[in-house]
Amino acid sequence: MSNIPANLKFAESNEWILVEGSTGTVGISDYAQNQLSDIVFAEIVVAEGDEIKQGDTIATIESVKAAADVYSPVSGKIVAINEDLGAAPEVINSSPYEAAWIIKIELSDPAELKPLMDAVAYGAHVESQG
């Protein structure tokens, strides 16, 4: 079973968000990085100050076996990007919930958090993926 922190919300597409006040920190789940395996490339395709919508692509991640887009679980304004990921994408494999955050976003519609899964629901979702 993957590591699924209880304080996060998860999208069906395997992104996580940690909300503190009106700001959310976004990354990909332990399950997602495990499915990709050895990550060799990460490119954040949004910039600080960009206004994005829920579901917009925020990054591209490539591993030795696949490539995947990363989507924003919420709409808002990008307030920070993780500049370190491009130089050390492998940190996504070792620290998906800490060092490997992708963006920080000021939420424009907190109601978008409601359909996201808590850790228990996400655990069931992961199990159903086989």
Residue 4 covered by a domain: no
What is the per-residue pLDDT for 113? 97
Answer whether residue 1 is part of any domain: no
41-94: pLDDT as tens digits: 999 999 999 999 999 999 999 999 899 999 999 999 999 999 999 999 999 999
Q: Domain with 102 in it: what CATH number?
A: 2.40.50.100
Number of domains in the chain: 1
CB 75 within 8 A of CB 107: yes
Residue 50 lies in a domain: yes
Q: pLDDT band for 19, please (50, 70, 90 cuts).
A: very high
Q: How far apart are CA 36 and CA 24, in angstroms?
A: 24
The range of the structural domain enclosing residue 106 comes to: 9-128
CA distances from 48 to 33, 44, 51, 72, 119 (A): 24, 10, 9, 14, 29
Residue 3 lies in a domain: no
